[in-house]
Amino acid sequence: MIEAARSDLTVPGTLRAGINLGNILLVTGTAPDGAPQGVAPDMAATIAERLGVNVEYVTYATPGELADAVAGDEWDIGLIAVEPKRAEQIAFCDAYVEIEATYLVPADSPFQSVEDVDRPGVRIAVSNRAAYDLYLSRTLKHAELVRAEGLPGAFELFATEKLDALAGLVPALQENAASLPGSRLLPGRYTAVRQAIGTKPQCTALNAFVESFTAEAKADGLVARLIEQHGVAGKLQVASDD
């Protein structure tokens, strides 16, 4: 399996790993040489080690940019949230971590649960093309999504335009709430964003190798150890099996 997986690499001897810098739970720091640090880079590095090749990080500011880059053969594996629209071009393996998503609302909001938000006239700030943006785009019936680039941009839009809600991941929204007195997170969740590793669809041997690695990494505690090591325990959870 290893030799076949290596043969799927575009650059012999190098695993190019697409990393989304916009996910502050999976990329929590930067090494002195500029390389990203965190759960996602460590997962990529361990895959490269198991394959017996070098790892090269190909970084993107947003998940949408990472997803688009598969068409240009810019990476061999992409670490990004599973989403049906993305799965049209990316062959995803089983998720390795998941993150709950909800809404942040202002102090005077009448909303008490996530189900309350989907009403006519409601405007929701969201990070453009994030996994939860794609999810809400499919599922909302009445509320309007107002998009900004990245999590900071969505929070600024929410605060300055006095929108009705901010969609996001629970850990990030908790930090946002601390800087906006009186704001609160709605209990419950509208989805859990599942972070996975994908390959180009034609790279079937590499995909099979990564699928096997992911199952092992969850079962033997590697994912849980990386969550602890990078200080994101209680924010990331090891993904349940599909």
Q: Say how many Å lie between the first and final Cα of the chain, rounded.
A: 23
Closest by CA to 197, choosing from 208, 189, 183, 186, is 208
171 and 125 inside one domain: yes
Q: Could you tell me the two tokens for 218?
A: 């969850």
pLDDT at 38: 97
88 and 111 inside one domain: no
pTM of the model: 0.81
In this structure, which long-range contacts are made by residues 3-7, counting pairs with CB atoms below 8 Å and at least 24 apart in sequence? 4/205, 4/209, 5/51, 5/205, 5/206, 5/208, 5/209, 5/210, 6/51, 6/52, 6/53, 7/205
| Beta strand ranges found along the chain (DSSP E) | 14-20, 29-30, 36-37, 54-60, 77-81, 91-92, 97-105, 123-127, 144-148, 165-169, 184-185, 191-199, 237-238
56 and 141 inside one domain: no
CATH number at residue 60: 3.40.190.10
155 and 206 inside one domain: no
Number of domains in the chain: 2
22 and 88 inside one domain: yes
Give 125's DSSP letter: E
105 and 21 inside one domain: no
Domain assignment of residue 165, given as a range: 99-191
74 and 151 inside one domain: no
pLDDT at 1: 83
35 and 61 inside one domain: yes
Give 167's DSSP letter: E
Cross-strand pairs, 169: 101
Closest by CA to 169, choosing from 197, 214, 133, is 133
Q: Are 202 and 4 in contact (CB under 8 A)?
A: no
pLDDT at 242: 62
Length of the chain: 242
From the CB of residue 120, how many other CB atoms can be counted at a distance below 10 Å?
A: 8
Q: Are 131 and 168 in contact (CB under 8 A)?
A: no
Query: 39-78 pLDDT, tens per residue?
Result: 999 999 999 999 999 999 999 998 999 999 999 999 999 9
66 and 177 inside one domain: no
pLDDT at 9: 98
DSSP strand pairing (165-169 vs 237-238): unpaired
131 and 171 inside one domain: yes
Low-confidence ranges of the chain (pLDDT < 70): 242
Give 76's DSSP letter: S
pLDDT at 10: 97
18 and 66 inside one domain: yes
62 and 133 inside one domain: no
pLDDT at 150: 84
From the CB of residue 107, how many other CB atoms can be counted at a distance below 10 Å?
A: 9
Which residue, 175, 191, 207, sits at the end of a domain?
Answer: 191
pLDDT at 241: 77
Helix then strand count (H, E) for the chain reads 8, 13
